[in-house]
Amino acid sequence: MKVCCIGAGYVGGPTCAVMALKCPDIVITLVDKSVERIAQWNSDKLPIYEPGLDEVVKKCRNVNLFFSTDIETAIKEADLIFISVNTPTKVSGNGKGRAADLKYVESAARMIAEIAQSNKIVVEKSTVPVRAAESIMHILRANQKPGIHYDILSNPEFLAEGTAINDLLNADRVLIGGEETTEGHEAVAKLSWIYEHWIPKQHILTTNTWSSELSKLAANAFLAQRISSINSLSAVCEATGADVSEVARAVGLDSRIGSKFLQASVGFGGSCFQKDILNLIYICENLNLPEVATYWQQVIDMNDYQKRRFSQKIIESLFNTVSDKRIAILGFAFKKNTGDTRETAAITVCQTLLEEGAKLDIYDPKVEPEQIIDDLTHPSVTESPENVKKAVQIHSDPYSAVRATHALVICTEWDEFVDLDFQRIYQSMMKPAYIFDGRKILDHERLHQIGFHVQTIGKKY
Ligand code: NAD
Ligand code: UGA
């Protein structure tokens, strides 16, 4: 079998790499319109940082895994094509700020329709609104050449960044949605056969296409909802003296609730939670279900509140002014073990502090300096990029970032921050020295003993 995957990003890359590793009898070609991205996939420095990914790519690249910009040949030769392109929130037009922009999915479908000369199974791997497969089907079948048959499947991806390889190798479940026809069932069986190379059959779930599409949005909405729920309680804890970690533990021990995804934080980030919930909200509004839309909107509103609340706490603690104060930001990625900064809470924290006139010293072990500057000078973040560039310094070492600062803010839970020499850090900082732990990873008692003023999420000090 020959497989092609359109879109060599955070999903396409790791997914195809693991598939190639586990299916030596399948040839997989990952294509992208970005020449730069494909060149990086073919180089020693891959375009994304993901633990374990380098090893898998090295094993399979140019054996049964190929990275190419020759989209035409890859489509022509493939029996099965994954569409794994980005589906960002629309920034203009109908549904602006809410609906998923399907222009990349549509262009992939149009390319397939134009190029295909034999039967294809087209698999929607991107996260899409319910019934998006219908649009793909419509485009393909309206342009169908005689004798060519298309099957469309939905096969959403559930991997999380930072743990993608393990998530793919040991998936809780693989979800495949297809048409309730004989051809549809055959197509589902072919895709299932690929996953059966390493996923136990009982973990491969088949549903109708629309259930599969909606389940992906639902899963992300549920996960984000748990974070917003615990974050909402973190505010109650700070006001009352309860400790949110103790509350999360007590609540999570109920086996009906479970302990995962109850870590209170500065707020969730990442390219998908907000985008997918907005997409769900837009669908509900269009289906004339305003109560359902309002319900899910609260998950996002609570996240915005949490990010704002944490930023305000920093300013208030520093005598209500951070003007010309140096503040160290440790961690810029939206979570540990990734270099991805999309929707990271660090952007909101930095933006607020910059607006108040602070000078920022930023360190992240995996985010490229240019990426941090791009994010903080984006038109949605500032009207004066030149001033931001003057106020921000990027460091390649945490000790240099904290030197002579008034405060240290933890925005990402990188393991290396736990083991920093805080005695040394204290000595190099301005006094009084403040730590704002937005991830609850540090030993606060010890920091107090050293002399720091400590503030965190969900606990009153
Ligand atoms: P990404 O932006 O990292 O990658 C998408 C790639 O598609 C880009 O490299 C882009 O150049 C390419 N592309 C777009 N249109 C193309 C076209 N017509 N032809 C060829 N290449 C094209 O996006 P991602 O993070 O990999 O996400 C992809 C999809 O998977 C999204 O729908 C997302 O919601 C979903 N998803 C993402 C994650 C995640 O952890 N990032 C997890 C699960 C699902
Ligand atoms: C999330 C889901 O976990 C994946 O299943 C899904 O496939 C993916 O979105 C997607 O569709 O893109 P991801 O965003 O990569 O994965 O990472 P998560 O581990 O879910 O973390 C998201 C954000 O929530 C991060 O900012 C993280 O720090 C935060 N978080 C997570 C918390 O604040 N508390 C928690 O308890 C868990």
Q: Is the CB of 6 under 6 A from ligand 1?
A: yes
Ligand nearest to the CA of 219: 2
Cβ count near 240 (within 10 Å)? 9
**What residues have CB less than 8 Å from 28, skipping those under 6 apart?**
2, 3, 4, 5, 16, 19, 20, 64, 65, 66
Taking the C-alpha atoms of residue 355 and residue 167, their distance in angstroms, rounded to an integer, is 39
Taking the C-alpha atoms of residue 374 and residue 370, their distance in angstroms, rounded to an integer, is 6
Give the pLDDT confidence score for residue 204 in this predicted structure. 98
List phi, psi (to 5°) of 113. -60, -40
Give the pLDDT confidence score for residue 59 in this predicted structure. 98
In the structure encoding, which two tokens stand for residue 390, read together? Answer: 């003057």
By residue count, the chain amounts to 461
Atom of ligand 1 minimally distant from the CA of 85: 7
Ligand nearest to the CA of 269: 2
Residue range(s) in the chain whose domain bears CATH number 3.40.50.720: 2-199, 217-298, 302-456
In the structure encoding, which two tokens stand for residue 159, read together? Answer: 């991997």
Under CATH, domain 2-199 is a member of which superfamily? Answer: NAD(P)-binding Rossmann-like Domain (3.40.50.720)
367 within 8 A of 394, measured Cβ to Cβ: no
Under CATH, domain 217-298 is a member of which superfamily? Answer: NAD(P)-binding Rossmann-like Domain (3.40.50.720)
Contacts 24+ apart (CB under 8 A), 50-53: 50/10, 50/13, 50/14, 50/161, 50/162, 50/164, 50/165, 50/337, 50/338, 51/162, 51/163, 51/165, 51/337, 52/165, 52/166, 53/13, 53/14, 53/17, 53/164, 53/165
ipTM over 0.95: yes
Q: For residue 127, how far is its CA from the centre of ligand 1 (angstroms)?
A: 9
Instruction: Per residue of the chain (461 residues), give pLDDT as tens.
Output: 999 999 999 999 999 999 999 999 999 999 999 999 999 999 999 999 999 999 999 999 999 999 999 999 999 999 999 999 999 999 999 999 999 999 999 999 999 999 999 999 999 999 999 999 999 999 998 998 899 999 999 999 999 999 999 999 999 999 999 999 999 999 999 999 999 999 999 999 999 999 999 999 999 999 999 999 999 999 999 999 999 999 999 999 999 999 999 999 999 999 999 999 999 999 999 999 999 999 999 999 999 999 999 999 999 999 999 999 999 999 999 999 999 999 999 999 999 999 999 999 999 999 999 999 999 999 999 999 999 999 999 999 999 999 999 999 999 999 999 999 999 999 999 999 999 999 999 999 999 999 999 999 999 98
272 is catalytic: yes
Indicate the pTM of the whole model.
Answer: 0.97
Q: Is the CB of 213 under 6 A from ligand 1?
A: no
Taking the C-alpha atoms of residue 32 and residue 419, their distance in angstroms, rounded to an integer, is 40
Q: Probe ligand 1: pick from 4, 6, 10, 15, max atoms within 8 Å of CB?
A: 10
Please enumerate, by residue number, every residue annotated as part of a binding site for NAD(+).
7-12, 32, 37, 85-89, 126-127, 161, 272-275, 342
- Give residues (CB < 6 A) around ligand 2: 127, 157-161, 220, 223, 227, 261-263, 265, 268-270, 272-273, 334-335
Count CA atoms closer than 13 A to 427's CA, side-chain side. 4
For domain 302-456, give the CATH number.
3.40.50.720
Nearest protein Cα to ligand 1, atom 41: 10
Give the pLDDT confidence score for residue 234 in this predicted structure. 98
296 within 8 A of 317, measured Cβ to Cβ: no
Taking the C-alpha atoms of residue 187 and residue 135, their distance in angstroms, rounded to an integer, is 18
Q: For residue 102, how far is its CA from the centre of ligand 1 (angstroms)?
A: 11
Q: Probe ligand 1: pick from 115, 272, 335, max atoms within 8 Å of CB?
A: 272
Q: For residue 30, how far is its CA from the centre of ligand 1 (angstroms)?
A: 12
Nearest protein Cα to ligand 1, atom 2: 86
Ligand nearest to the CA of 88: 1
Active-site choice (272, 284, 350, 411): 272
Give the pLDDT confidence score for residue 144 in this predicted structure. 84
